[in-house]
Amino acid sequence: MAYRTSDKVRQKKDAKRTAMMQTAVQVFAEKGYHAATVRDIVQKAGVAIGTFYFYFPDKETLFVYLYEETGEFLAQTLEQAITSKELLHHQIAAGVQSYVNIALYEPAVIHLMLVGGIGAIPSLHEKRSIFRERMTQMWQRPLDFASDDGNLPEQNTRRSAEMIAGACDEAILNLLAQPDAESSGPATVRDITLFILRGLGYNTQDKNSGES
């Protein structure tokens, strides 16, 4: 009879893997890709070094995997926030609010996506390009709808979306560098949102303000 891993054993293995990956995000954020070691990760996660190598052959493979998983989480969260609203100014505000929330409560996630591994891992270049493209398309979709409805001045929505993505990243990184980041969160959301809407030439006056 073939041996089958019990559900209890499988759940225990999954829990160790999850704990190790969550810890790895923190370690990479604190120490940077080059300084962080496999031993740092397993010691902080409280797992054996053999557990690491059971799942990943090396640090680079783990980092690239974490980048993909974290990018998917970030993109999905922002997309859900944006699509939950109907009017462009509410969509922009919701997306920015979601981004700031993640930055304040999961700063290691932002560090991993925007700082960690830049120039350090050649194999990450393509993954980063894919992520940046997804973020650009995420912002471009509501712009296209608003443009089609006549609610935006004529413009290259692709270029506008690229600038929104870049401006958000820069503002988020600057927010996290502040000692009072959490208390500055609401003002940051407001400032980014207004900056984007003004840059788009979008006038919120006479728009339906009934949507929350």
Total tally of structural domains belonging to the chain: 2
One domain for residues 42 and 130: no
Q: What is the pTM of this model?
A: 0.86
Task: Identify the residue with better confidence: 146 or 118.
Answer: 146
One domain for residues 21 and 91: no
22 Cβ partners below 8 Å, 6+ apart? 45
Closest CA to 78 of 136, 8, 156, 36: 136
Q: Alpha carbon of 130 to those of 57, 69, 126, 133: distances in Å?
A: 24, 13, 6, 5
One domain for residues 42 and 70: no
Helix (H) or strand (E) holding 109: helix 107-114
One domain for residues 72 and 52: no
Residue 135: inside a domain = yes
One domain for residues 65 and 160: yes
Task: Identify the residue with better confidence: 36 or 118.
Answer: 36
One domain for residues 141 and 168: yes
Q: How far is 151 from 143, CA to CA, in rounded Å?
A: 9
One domain for residues 49 and 118: no
Residue 20: inside a domain = yes
One domain for residues 83 and 110: yes
Secondary structure percentages of the chain, helix, strand, coil, to 5: 75, 0, 25
One domain for residues 177 and 122: yes
One domain for residues 96 and 46: no
For 47-106, the pLDDT digits (tens) are 889 989 999 999 999 999 999 999 999 999 999 999 999 999 999 999 999 999 999 999
One domain for residues 38 and 87: no
Determine contact, residues 27/36, Cβ cutoff 8 Å. Answer: yes
One domain for residues 51 and 73: no
Residue 181: inside a domain = yes
List the domain range (segments joined by +) for residue 80: 58-200
What is the model's pLDDT at position 207? Answer: 58
Q: How far is 123 from 71, CA to CA, in rounded Å?
A: 15
Residue 143's domain is classified under what CATH number? 1.10.357.10
- Given its phi and psi angles, is residue 47 left (phi above 0), alpha (psi -120 to 50 degrees) or beta? beta
Mean pLDDT of the chain, nearest integer: 89
